[in-house]
Structure 1
Amino acid sequence: MIEIFDPTDLARAKHTGALVAGILQSLKSRATVGTNLLDIDRWAKDMIAEAGALSCYVDYEPSFGRGPFGHYVCTSVNDAVLHGRPYDYALADGDLLTLDLAVSHGGVVADSAISFIVGDSKPPQSVALIDATERALSAGIAAAGPGARIGDISHAIGSVLSDAGYKINTEFGGHGVGSTMHQDPHVSNTGRPGRGYKLRPGLLLALEPWVMADTAELVTDADGWTLRSATGCRTAHSEHTIAITDDGAEILTLPTRA
């Protein structure tokens, strides 16, 4: 299913996007050395409930997971890159943490992810991974607009990641969003320009470049959800929800600057 939203719907989407961005930034500020992943999940639950919103994850039960996800935010640490299920783990200095959050409010979903390093240590490899995904995300957004093709976005993202020396996994990528979290069209993190679905004003897309330092192969954790690098290398993941507009693309999950 592909949903196209009118201006009234887009106003609601902007509100949901701002909510997601605000929660992620709050969680980031509280994720310090010694913070437990289960506390982060609890904080997310409380903020979602306070906003009168709904988590897209608690009852999420796709074919690739093992039962309902059962938590409110994905917490992927170091070699975990996607669908990181919160567990009893205290963050250490230098950990690379990815928080991925999808929330529904007013009947519209927004989805975003941020990767950052906990504490004072800044391992160069981790810094480079995060930088590559953020630059790839910016490139993908810049390629989006009315009349562009999904392949244009995929090519822009993939060019940045491959030029940075990373292998690209195509099992998971970006996607349409709307009244539900995962919709068509699929947005691969690499592809050929000029191919695929033609973008129209009112389309919402979640773009999410992610990479692993030295492999493109994933393995599934014992929890049945968390996806890790097959080699144990570090990973990073950046994501924004955007709306295609008459003259380009608007980021809905951009944090508000103080």
Structure 2
Amino acid sequence: MGWKDRGVEIKTPEQVDLMRRAGLVVGRTLEVLRGAVRPGVTTRELDAIAEDAIRSAGASPSFLGYQGFPASICASVNDEVVHGIPGDRELREGDLVSLDCGAIVDGWHGDAAITVPVGPVPTELTALIADTEAALWAGIAAVRDGGRVGDVSAAVEGSLRAAGDYGVLEDYTGHGIGTAMHQPPDVPNTGRPGRGARLVPGIALAVEPMVTLGTHETVLLDDDWTVVTADGSWAAHCEHTFALTEDGVWVLTALDGGEAALTALGVPYGGR
């Protein structure tokens, strides 16, 4: 494994394969959680479901114990943007819940997030989720060998600005990932193309738009984890881990490797 651009970890193809194993655990766990979201379920129950799914797959949760975090997933409801701690809160019809999950296989990490409506929700909330997911894929679609992280940031921001008057978080970003869950470089959700660390085969990044119906301003609650919107507006959070290979982009936490979405966007698929 090599290191470039101030500590960016460059993986061998064999190491990317290990990350794919971790990514599949994350992707499958999130699909289990998606199916478990319903009115009356608590976020603590969702956390237990996730931990069982991760451990049953022979992996371990990335989040549990990370800097003291007490759970295996983050569960952020409505105006909670990210890092919500699972507990006794029961989901109600009309809520939004963002579920962020990480898993470790043989020392390698995968990290992804989805936002799920609890039953029927207003059109503006379904649009918020769809536009956040579209921005995630726009960022991934901007990846090219020899490009820059800023290309990803600019594509995420551009997609969201074109979609609506959203708040796009600036103080929380995507990140490099590999032998640690958070590594250089940061991957902001706003920025200018042509700036930041160079994109080369072997780089792996987690891209994660965090988007609100109001402003980008946030407040950290007294638990020192949960990030909420300052204006009380609701939020969505979507994330995938990808690697750039010699053949193209491989979305390690997507069950199909991202092949369908990347092909539709005209981006070379780099999975195997």
Q: Into which bin does the TM-score normalised by the smaller protein fall? A: over 0.9
Query: How far apart are the structure 1 equivalents of 2:31 and 2:189?
Result: 25
Partner of 2:137: 138
Query: How far apart are the structure 2 equivalents of 1:213 and 1:140?
Result: 20
Work out the percentage of aligned pairs sharing the same amino acid: 42
Q: CA deviation at 1:139?
A: 0.5
Letter in 2 for 1:13: M
TM-score computed with the length of structure 2 as normaliser = 0.89
Q: CA RMSD in A?
A: 1.3
Structure 2 residue 38 is the aligned partner of structure 1 residue 32: yes
Q: CA deviation at 1:145?
A: 2.2
Letter in 2 for 1:127: T
1:16-165 counterparts in 2 under 5 A? Answer: 16-61=22-67, 68-119=68-119, 121-163=120-162, 164-165=164-165
Give CA-to-partner distance per residue, 1:144-196, whole Å, 9 cap, x none. Answer: 12111011100000111122221322111110000110000101101111111
Query: How far apart are the structure 1 equivalents of 2:73 and 2:157?
Result: 26
Query: How far apart are the structure 2 equivalents of 1:79 and 1:123?
Result: 15
Give CA-to-partner distance per residue, 1:80-127, whole Å, 9 cap, x none. Answer: 0110111111111111011000111122101000001012x2211211
Q: Is the contact between residue 135 and residue 209 of structure 2 (CA under 8 Å) also seen in structure 1?
A: yes
Partner of 1:252: 252
Partner of 1:64: none
Give CA-to-partner distance per residue, 1:200-246, whole Å, 9 cap, x none. Answer: 10111000011111111111123221101111111001100000112
Q: CA deviation at 1:10?
A: 1.3
Letter in 1 for 2:206: A
- Unaligned 5+ runs, structure 2: 1-6, 258-272
Query: How far apart are the structure 1 equivalents of 2:94 and 2:72?
Result: 24
Query: How far apart are the structure 2 equivalents of 1:5 and 1:150?
Result: 17
Letter in 2 for 1:2: V
Letter in 2 for 1:54: S
Letter in 1 for 2:80: A
Instruction: State the aligned residue count.
Output: 250
Query: How far apart are the structure 1 equivalents of 2:46 and 2:90?
Result: 10
Query: How far apart are the structure 2 equivalents of 1:202 and 1:60?
Result: 25
Partner of 1:221: 221
Q: CA deviation at 1:256?
A: 5.1
